[in-house]
Amino acid sequence: MHVVFVEPAFPTNQREFPRALHAVGARVTGIGERPPEYLDRELKGWLDDYIQLQSVCHEESLEAAVRSVQEKSWVDRIESTVEAHTMPVARVRETCEIPGTSVRTAFLCRDKPAMKEALREAGIPCAQSTGASSAEEVRDFVADVGYPVILKPRDGAGAAGTYRAENADELEEAIRAAKTDRGMPTAVEEFIEGHEGFFDTITIDGEIVHEFISHYYPGVLEAMRMRWISPQIAVTNRNDAEHYDEIREMCKKVIDTLGIETSATHMEWFFGPKGLKFSEIGCRPPGVMVWDIYSAANEIDLYEEWANAIVHGRPGAQASRNFAGGMLALRPSQDGTIVRYEGVEAMEREFKDAIIDTHFPRPGTATQGVEGGYMANAWIRLRHPDFDELRRIMDHIGGTVKVIAQ
């Protein structure tokens, strides 16, 4: 099988996808934005060919590149795994008559108001929402729904560019920050109170062949605003627990409703006073290299499982569920420059058997802002056979390991 893979070099873990495609026997052509000399020898060895574009999101350039590949040999699939690439790749896929995720599916997974409208029509519970391109449209929605509300880009990912408003003053501030008053397309949603988690899959012909259930502690919006919080992502290995049945059923219905066939998915949900509510979906893997945690916790190469789904239409292995997995982000004490760490050696002695890997930027490294996310500064990834013990370990590390900046 010949697979065109869009952007094999950036961000860093993108190289894992062409590696996996090559490992399962595919011929791989890469299309990316980095110069060929930027690619290391190992990555070049996984690619049969490489085409550089100024922007892989420029559809005319991407289409021209794909057609140049098709002139030389048959292309079976064109794949991408970055949120911003899904729509241009889907349009080029359809124009070039290559099988895979449709434009309709990609659009509904990108455009938050359209996504929620389609899901509500299918009976899937989610927040009240609308699309707005003016301040007046936002105010009209809030007049009907009430506070609190969330404003975010229609095609955003994660908590980037997301603003919460509890009252009229905060709403006006959010409208200005989101640039809705200047015509920026904005998704406006009722804020759903409750615990936040996500359900990730690999599907083949619409059927789930791998699933992973994860939790945020605390929710993403709070985690990206509070410096003192050491936010956690925790992956359960108790997938068969009865309380996950409703999540599993809801997310399968989302896959069916949106017409997802063979793909990775990332679905977020809330559970609180209003019950279980669906949040949003990405037709791609989760961010912050969560697949690395899934792989380590389940003794599986999930990148190769994705490649097996694309190339062979079947899984190659099953998740062991032997470990729960987690990621803990550590924030610098202030913005500036990292000067030292406290508690690292004690952590490594006490929890060496649980640690998958760590990242501690060298002293002298400039800090990144809290809003930079889970991998912006120092982080630790762990696994443990017991989910509750994993949470205890992460709580302990979050309270004892310090990143000192000045």
pTM summary value: 0.92
Look at residue 114 and tell me whether its pLDDT is greater than 60. yes
Q: Give the span between the Cα atoms of 287 and 300, in whole angstroms.
A: 18
Same domain, 375 and 231: yes
Range of the domain at 159: 128-190
The model's pLDDT over 6-45, given as tens digits with 9 standing for 90+, comes to 999 999 899 999 999 999 999 999 999 999 999 999 999 9
Same domain, 178 and 215: no
Angle, helices 103-110 vs 86-95, to 10°: value is 170
Say if 120 falls within a structural domain.
Answer: no
Look at residue 157 and tell me whether its pLDDT is greater than 90. no
Say if 118 falls within a structural domain.
Answer: no
Look at residue 198 and tell me whether its pLDDT is greater than 80. yes
Q: Give the span between the Cα atoms of 180 and 209, in whole angstroms.
A: 40
- Count of Cβ atoms closer than 10 Å to residue 75 Cβ: 21
Look at residue 361 and tell me whether its pLDDT is greater than 80. yes
Mean pLDDT value of segment 295-307: 98
Same domain, 260 and 150: no
Say if 153 falls within a structural domain.
Answer: yes
163, 190, 217 - which closes a domain: 190
Say if 115 falls within a structural domain.
Answer: no
Same domain, 13 and 145: no
Domain CATH code at residue 235: 3.30.470.20
Domain CATH code at residue 184: 3.30.1490.20
pLDDT of amino acid 398: 97
Same domain, 241 and 342: yes
pLDDT of amino acid 226: 86
Q: Give the span between the Cα atoms of 135 and 186, in whole angstroms.
A: 10
Say if 50 falls within a structural domain.
Answer: yes
pLDDT of amino acid 47: 98
Say if 281 falls within a structural domain.
Answer: yes
The model's pLDDT over 120-144, given as tens digits with 9 standing for 90+, comes to 999 999 988 899 999 999 999 999 9
Query: 159: pLDDT confidence band, cut at 50, 70 and 90?
Result: low
Look at residue 283 and tell me whether its pLDDT is greater than 80. yes
pLDDT of amino acid 243: 93
Look at residue 158 and tell me whether its pLDDT is greater than 70. no
Look at residue 112 and tell me whether its pLDDT is greater than 90. no
pLDDT of amino acid 156: 67
The amino acid that residue 70 corresponds to is Q
pLDDT of amino acid 155: 73
Contact 285, 309 (CB under 8 A): no
Look at residue 110 and tell me whether its pLDDT is greater than 80. yes
The model's pLDDT over 206-255, given as tens digits with 9 standing for 90+, comes to 999 999 999 999 998 888 888 899 999 999 999 999 999 999 999 999 99
* Mean confidence (pLDDT) of the chain: 95
Q: Report the 3 state secondary structure along the chain.
A: CEEEEECCCCCHHHHHHHHHHHHCCCEEEEEECCCHHHCCHHHHHHCCEEEECCCCCCHHHHHHHHHHHHHHCCCCEEECCCHHHHHHHHHHHHHCCCCCCCHHHHHHHHCHHHHHHHHHHCCCCECCEEEECCHHHHHHHHHHHCCCEEEEECCCCCCCCCEEECCHHHHHHHHHHCCHHHCCCEEEEECCCCEEEEEEEEEECCEEEEEEEEEEECCHHHHCCCCCCCCEEEECCCCCCHHHHHHHHHHHHHHHHHCCCCEEEEEEEEEECCEEEEEEEECCCCCCCHHHHHHHHHCCCHHHHHHHHHHHCCCCCCCCCCCEEEEEEECECCCCEEEEEECHHHHHHHHCCCEEEEECCCCCCECCCHHHCCCCCEEEEEEECCHHHHHHHHHHHHHHCEEEEC
Token pair for residue 262? Answer: 């063979």
Contact 202, 305 (CB under 8 A): yes
The model's pLDDT over 161-176, given as tens digits with 9 standing for 90+, comes to 889 999 999 999 999 9
190, 217, 242 - which closes a domain: 190
pLDDT of amino acid 222: 87
Q: Give the span between the Cα atoms of 398 and 329, in whole angstroms.
A: 8
Domain CATH code at residue 82: 3.40.50.20
Q: Give the span between the Cα atoms of 70 and 193, in whole angstroms.
A: 49
Counted domains in the chain: 3
Same domain, 132 and 95: no
Mean pLDDT value of segment 309-328: 98
Say if 109 falls within a structural domain.
Answer: no
Same domain, 151 and 202: no
Say if 111 falls within a structural domain.
Answer: no
Look at residue 375 and tell me whether its pLDDT is greater than 60. yes
Mean pLDDT value of segment 146-161: 81
Query: 46: pLDDT confidence band, cut at 50, 70 and 90?
Result: very high
Same domain, 213 and 357: yes
Same domain, 166 and 241: no
